């Protein structure tokens, strides 16, 4: 990993982005909603989250879109509930790249729907900086 990517990743995690608002619904109503919309997919309700938009070249963006993805990731500091028991309450989690983002709080990846509860933020970072967090 290049030093430049490491510094950008560190800045990404420590910076504040533009405020965004997730769902204010109760946990029970969110569970019902996500189960009805995505009946065969696991879900993870999170708080203290950031949507991170990847800044990439036109060529990289084309590859992302061709593969059915959006250049978006979620980093959450607090897991409230994971339907498949992969993440414990209070743990942090990071998503893979989104395949859809609905209603401002339903962030879908290939395997999971992240339900964004409460306030969060949105920030941008280079694709390389984001991916460096996965190494």
pLDDT tens digits, 59-110: 999 999 999 999 999 999 999 999 999 999 999 999 999 999 999 999 999 9
Pairing of strands 18-21, 119-126: antiparallel
| pLDDT (0 to 100) of residue 2 | 59
- Does residue 5 carry a pLDDT above 60? no
Please state the domain extents for the chain: 3-132
Q: What pLDDT, on a 0 to 100 scale, did the predictor assign at position 1?
A: 47
Model confidence band, residue 133 (pLDDT cutoffs 50, 70, 90): confident
Who's near 15: CB < 8 A, 6+ residues apart? 123
Q: Where are the beta strands (DSSP E) in the chain?
A: 18-21, 42-55, 72-82, 93-94, 100-102, 106-108, 112-116, 119-126
């Amino acid at each position: 990993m290049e030093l430049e990517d490491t510094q950008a990743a560190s800045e990404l995690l420590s910076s504040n982005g533009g405020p965004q608002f997730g769902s204010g619904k109760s946990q029970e109503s969110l569970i019902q909603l996500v189960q009805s919309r995505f009946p065969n997919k696991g879900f993870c309700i999170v708080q203290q989250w950031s949507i991170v938009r990847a800044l990439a070249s036109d060529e990289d963006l084309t590859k992302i879109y061709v593969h059915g993805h959006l250049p978006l990731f979620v980093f959450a500091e607090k897991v409230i509930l994971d339907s498949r028991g992969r993440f414990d309450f209070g743990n942090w989690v990071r998503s893979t790249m989104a395949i859809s983002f609905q209603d401002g709080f339903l962030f879908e990846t290939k395997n999971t729907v992240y339900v964004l509860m409460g306030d969060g933020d949105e920030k941008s970072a280079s694709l390389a900086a984001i991916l460096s967090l996965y190494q």
